[in-house]
Amino acid sequence: MADLADNSVAAEAGTIDIEFTWAGAESWVAVLDDARGMSEASLVTAMTVAARGPATDRSATDLGAYGVGLESASSSGPIRQVV
pLDDT tens digit sequence for 10-56: 888 999 999 999 999 888 888 899 998 888 887 777 777 666 655 66
**Residue 82 in domain:** no
Q: Is the whole-model pTM more than 0.85?
A: no
Decide if pLDDT at 70 tops 80: no
Q: Domain range spanning residue 49?
A: 2-75
69: pLDDT strictly greater than 80? no
Q: Domain for residue 69, yes or no?
A: yes
The helix (H) or strand (E) run that includes residue 16 is strand 16-21
- Residue 80 covered by a domain: no
Residue 6 forms part of a structural domain: yes
Average pLDDT score over residue span 61-78: 57
The verdict on residue 83 lying in a domain is no
What are all long-range contacts of 13-17, with beta carbons under 8 Å and residues at least 24 apart?
Answer: none
Segment 64-74 shows an average pLDDT of 55
Task: Tell me which H or E stretch contains 72.
Answer: helix 69-75
The total number of structural domains in the chain stands at 1
Q: How many residues does the chain have?
A: 83
